[in-house]
Chain A
Amino acid sequence: MPEKPVPDQDPIVTKSYAPHYVLAMVILMITLFWALWDEAFGQRPWKAYQEEWKHRYVAFLKTATHSSTNAEATVTASPDYKALEAEYNRLKSQTQPDVDRIQKQITDLNAKIIAVQNVFTDRRAYANALTYEMETDTSASGKKSKQRDIDDYKARKATVEYPDGHREQYNFKELEEKYNELRDERTKVSAELGEVLKPVTEANTRMSQYVTDHMIDLTPTQIEGLKKKTAEWDPKIQQINVADANIVDRCESCHMGAREPLKISAAVMTPKGSKRPDEYAQAFVSHPEPGLLKIHDPDKFGCSPCHQGNGRATTSVEKAHGNYEHWLWPLFPKQNAEAGCQTCHAADMMLVSGDVGWTISEGKNLFRQRGCMGCHRYEGYDKEPEDLTAVNQQLKLLEQQKIDNSKQSAAMMKQADSAQSNEEANRLNDKAVALRVASSKIDGQIQQLDFQSHSLMQDMKKVGPNLKDVRLKLNKNWIPVWLKKPTDFRPTTKMPNFRLTDHQIQAISAYIWQSALTDSPPKQKPGNADHGKQLFESRGCLACHSIGEGNQTDGGTFAANLTRVGEKANYDYLVRWIHNARERTRPYCPYEKKDIGPEDYAKKGLPYQFDLQHSQCPNDGHELQVQNMTVMPSLRLSVEDAQDIASYLMTQKKQEPSAYTDASFMDDPKLKDEGKKWVRHYGCAGCHEISGMEDEGRIGTDLTVEGSKPIERLDFALFTETAQRGGKGAEPITDPEDRERLPEGPAKSDWYNHKGFFEHKLAEPNIYDKGKVKTAEEALRMPNVHLNKEQIRAITTFLLGSQESSLPTSYQYKPADTRRDIQEGWWIVTKYNCVGCHQFIPGQNTSLMGMARYKDVQEQLPPKLLTEGARVDPEWLRRFLANPALSTTDTNRNGVRPYLQVHMPTFSFSDNELRKLVRFFQAMSQQPMPYIPEAVPTLSTKENDMARSLFSSTAAPCLKCHATGDANHDKNATAPNFLLARERLKPDWVERWITDPQAISPGTAMPSGLFKQQNSQWVFAGPTPSTFQGYTGDHRKLLTDYIFQLTAEEQRRVAASMGKTRAAVPSPTRQKQADNSHPTAGHGGGR
């Protein structure tokens, strides 16, 4: 075999693969390490958070301990604590000898027990063993002999050597007795020790309780506990799992501080040296509103039902927050966080808890007040018409059932008459009777429903004015100018800007004008404008209306700004409106779909009279709409006062009404039909009453679940890509005014999400038409509602939360108890803008509060209603709300507070709304319904005299401020007449009120500190009259009882005597000058 020459360059020999292997190995190693690292950390970013949390929180707790220790030192230095401590020490030293003695006894006993036990247990074991042997022995003789052994053994004496050295001899029985005796004794002595120590332990508990009660923050011990817990923390997934609701939220794996009992801000979690809180610091803050967590226990609610986001995700912040394309419910943006409330609280109108809820509540309110609901259906909003339809349907059903019943019962009676047996006849007759009873019950139901339907008719309101009245009410030439751009005339108007062409304006004005009623309002005498101004500014008009423009504006935003009303209004109509805005020109019959006139009444020979008591159609008996569908109440002004106010308002103008360009085209009948088309197209009837369009449906989208619409179904039109891309040119809105409306300013990054869509749509409603070729009919119809940033943010929040929730229905807040009364009440309270005058929840500002005219005279503001339900008798409240003058004759006044210039208006609430309001107030104050008043005891003559001396004492001069009905006295009055108390107030509330009125109505003119607690008795804080010597009753109660049985006669006497001799206690027999002080005002209707 020829030897092959070895090639010089044999790859096997010369070429080394080592580098390849090394490289491969390195790559493999890297991959391995990377995989391991990713497994341990990459996939678990929360671990880093938890490590960081441990460091930062422990450090924070250290500083907290410091301040807490200081605070504790302050508390323990207080005399109260010192007293507790002294008491503890005293008890301790007092019981010490006993304790020592008993403890010695126990020690002795223990030693004795051990001594006895040692012997006893041995012997017992032996005895037991013998017994076992005897039991297992098969022969009877064996058993006998064993028994003998046992007896011998038990009789034998054993020696016990006690610790003190002395010995005793016991047989088994004695030994057992001794052992049990010693043990019993030890139990007894131990109990004795507990008994002796009890006061000491209690004193000790009192001390630590005092510290806990008086420390505002956590005690050092509590903080120490937290520190320990945190330092020992082992990183792990923190998870809330609510199986029923399919909630798995791991948010707290990073948000470790969310539920900590201390307030943790981002600032305190920021590492020293860095100016801004980093992502850790921001994640570790405690929940800003712990009060909310108390009512929404995170263990039941988790986090995502309120905040959204992907609660299960743990691999990155983006994923956990749901900010990626595969998750449909991204975290609600910070600015719109309150959207989460809406997902469960859609049925609530007011959602405030601490600082949270103002935005969403504002959004809900705007949706209604600005007339959004005129075009967009939203469940729960403007539901009176829907309810009315439902009621009418139910009525029809019941009527039918009644007919069926009577037929059936007739048939049965017929059968009974010809029945075979008496038994059979009686059975059938009984059935027939039952059916008649059932029918009678149905009658009751029908009456209730009739009542409902009457109420609902009254409750239906429109956001805008009744356009059937334009001919009576308006300067004709003004109409086209207004329609062009309402904000040019009145910048704050609710009427939105429709982008109408001049031709559309002409056609619409022509239709409105020609379809309107041609009646004319009664002529009015001119009034005194100066007096009118004074009334306008003081009566309370400004709680809803505003006057003046720009920074000169004064008043509320609920109703129109009246700065230029003189240019558009007709004086005669205005007087009628101010006198009673609900007064309608003609009643409307929804059945005939027709405005009923005098001719219809004349045909039936009826007087032309229509009001709430005369609300049946003369033609067919159906319920009529007899009121203007406005929420504007009657201020119970005299016609003269109404004329004065109207005269003042007519002076409010920037140009003469005659300066408007002639608009006679409005009479052109050719324009009418086209006008009608456009009026319908733009949905004007959503907010206005318009002839021929009373039953128009809404033209916009239903928004009830708009927030859960998939993003693809929101039409970004030509801006889809721009919105997705973001970057330069991301903002499509160019109009500077509209750009100003964007809550987050012009878009800088991508905005392809619900928030972006809603905000852009609200800022410039036709933005998604930009660049499109569309006809006038096709173009987007939504008008520009000219909202500002905050308003758009509020409405966007509301819409974002408008979702079809994936949570079980039990999570929806639809309570069936008194909390429902609260829910329903808020809809009415906001509907009529009660909040413009009254404070319902602490922190809520009324329109009047901020006004300069009340700055120094806060007592002239309408009362706060923070505890109204606890204050007043519900039946009285119902009467008051129906007639705030509390009189049918003397109506131009306040029934309760005659001294207020602001008058509580008559809202002409339906019975339905009255009931709901009364229940609302009771529920808001946690008062049970029905209310059964507690009996007020009749005072004896002596008690009466004592109470009177308090009532009129110099130290509590009640009648100095409280009205008495005497005009001369009442000019200085700032509080209601006591004579109203009996019917109006609840005695328990009065007691609380006179104790601490500032807690019930902060800032009230009624001072606190009239009574003080002495031992366990409440006594008058001023010098007590001598008659009180030895009186052990509650002084507050005595005074309350007195007030509840105060008569006009008695009050007059007291008032008169107080005027005479100030300090002296008046004698009840003294009858003085009762002649000039007839209390005509102040308690008319109430009594």
Chain B
Amino acid sequence: MNRNQWAAIFLASMLALGMLTGCSKKENTNEEQGTSPSSEVKPAGSSAPIDPATAAKISGTVSFDGTAPKPSKIDMSQDAACKGNNTSETMVVDSGKLANVFVYVKDGMGDRSFEVPKDSVTIDQKGCQYHPHVLGVMTNQNIEIRNDDDTTHNIHPTPKDNREWNESQPPKAAALEKQFTREEVMLPVKCNQHPWMKMYLNVSKTPFFAVTGSDGKYEIKGLPPGDYTLAFVHEKLGEQTQKVTLAAKDSKTVDQAFKQ
């Protein structure tokens, strides 16, 4: 069977003798092209610069429908060094406005890549609470973790898609510097010695994110025009999304309401 095929191929090539040389030359050039592997690292996304003249803006308010549960008190008596605000920050609602919601562009950026900001963001451990309670950073952006308490903390992120670590930080110790390399939303960070201490990191590939303040407000600036999916994530109430279309220099208001 195989031999017949070869014989046929051979005959055909005999007949096409005159063409052979030309052909093989062509083949060679094909091969030359073919040899460079297709999965060569692509230039990281089409990082066409965003024209500030056309950049658009989204802002809005996140509210909470229904009666907010009273913030629970934390018993910090196990450590005398823990002084200060001892209300839980899981649900911070002020006259119907929901704080600590992470708002980010979940979809629509395509394979655009963005430069990592040189500035670090800070997590401060003070009064045995994390400040802020919800934080957004870019992938690979430096995070500086400080301990302003008179007690030892340990910083223990328990990520889903990033690497886990757990490091001790004595009082007055030098700040820890850490980065996360993969996108992840609501990545919990805790302290094993003070079980109530908890915060959420949000690692984003784009610089387009914000966290709502105590007035429920957020603002994302500098967006190129396009169709986006905007996601609102709350540690307890989960994620909700909205679609937004932005024209050049748009300034849109996108509000979102969470229900219990």
Contact = CB atoms under 8 A, between A and B. Distances in A.
Interface in A171-225: none
Contacts of A60: 37
B11 A1006 contact: no
A867 B36 CA distance: 46
A42 interface: yes
B151 A957 contact: yes
A693 to B, nearest CB: 51
B115 interface: no
B152 A55 contact: no
Contacts of A1008: 165-168
A1022 B171 CA distance: 8
Contacts of A1023: 170-172
B88 interface: no
Given A38-B3, A56-B35, A272-B38, A960 B170 contact: no
A954 B79 contact: no
Interface in A550-591: none
Contacts of B152: 954-957, 1022
B202 to A, nearest CB: 17
A954 B171 contact: yes
B80 interface: yes
A266 B102 CA distance: 40
A770 B7 CA distance: 46
A998 interface: yes
Contacts of B171: 954-955, 1022-1023
Contacts of B188: 856
Interface residues of B, number: 42
B168 to A, nearest CB: 4
Interface string B166-197: 11111111000000000000001000110100
Nearest to B30: A271
A851 to B, nearest CB: 15
Given A30-B14, A272-B33, A1007 B168 contact: yes
B88 to A, nearest CB: 14
B165 A1022 contact: no
Interface string A830-843: 00000000000000
Interface residues of A, number: 51
A697 interface: no
Contacts of A273: 33-34, 38
B39 A267 contact: yes
B260 interface: no
A34 B10 CA distance: 7
Interface in A1004-1026: 1004-1010, 1021-1023
B40 interface: yes
A1007 B14 contact: no
A974 B2 contact: no
A274 B30 CA distance: 12
A762 interface: no
A63 B6 contact: no
B86 interface: no
Contacts of B164: 998, 1002-1003
B122 interface: no
Given A63-B40, A858-B158, A1007-B154, A55 B35 contact: yes
A265 interface: yes
Contacts of A972: 78, 195
A270 interface: yes
Contact of B7 (A34, A271, A274, A856): A34
A68 to B, nearest CB: 13
B150 interface: yes
A936 interface: no
Contacts of A956: 152, 168, 170
Nearest to B192: A1005
Nearest to B28: A55
A367 to B, nearest CB: 34
Contact of A30 (B11, B81, B173, B195): B11
B36 A272 contact: yes
B31 interface: yes
A1007 B192 contact: yes
Interface in A842-885: 856, 858-859
A33 interface: yes
B41 A961 contact: no
Contacts of A274: 34, 38
B133 interface: no
B156 interface: yes
Interface in A950-983: 954-957, 960-961, 972, 974
Nearest to B81: A1062
A67 interface: yes
Interface in A260-280: 265, 267-274
A265 B34 CA distance: 16
A268 B36 CA distance: 8
Nearest to A45: B2
A327 interface: no
Interface in A25-40: 30, 33-34, 37-38
B166 A270 contact: no
A1006 B34 CA distance: 53
- Give the one of B39, B41, B188 with max A CB within 10 A: B39
A38 B167 CA distance: 68
A1063 interface: yes
- Give the one of B6, B37, B78, B169 with max A CB within 10 A: B37
Given A1006-B166, A1009-B167, A1062-B80, A59 B37 contact: yes
Given A1008-B167, A1008-B168, A1023-B172, 15 more contacts: A30-B14, A55-B31, A56-B35, A59-B35, A67-B41, A267-B39, A271-B31, A274-B34, A859-B192, A954-B170, A972-B78, A1009-B168, A1009-B169, A1023-B170, A1023-B171
Interface of B: 2-3, 6-7, 10-11, 14, 31, 33-41, 78-81, 150-152, 154-156, 158, 164-173, 188, 192-193, 195
23 contacts: A30-B10, A34-B7, A38-B3, A55-B31, A56-B35, A59-B35, A59-B36, A267-B38, A268-B39, A270-B38, A272-B37, A272-B38, A954-B151, A960-B79, A960-B193, A1004-B166, A1005-B166, A1007-B167, A1008-B168, A1009-B167, A1021-B173, A1062-B80, A1062-B81
Interface of A: 30, 33-34, 37-38, 42, 55-56, 58-60, 62-63, 67, 265, 267-274, 316, 856, 858-859, 954-957, 960-961, 972, 974, 997-998, 1002-1010, 1021-1023, 1062-1063
Q: Report, nearest first, the 8 A-B pairs whose CB atoms are least far apart.
A: A271-B34, A955-B170, A59-B35, A1022-B170, A1007-B154, A1007-B168, A1005-B192, A268-B37
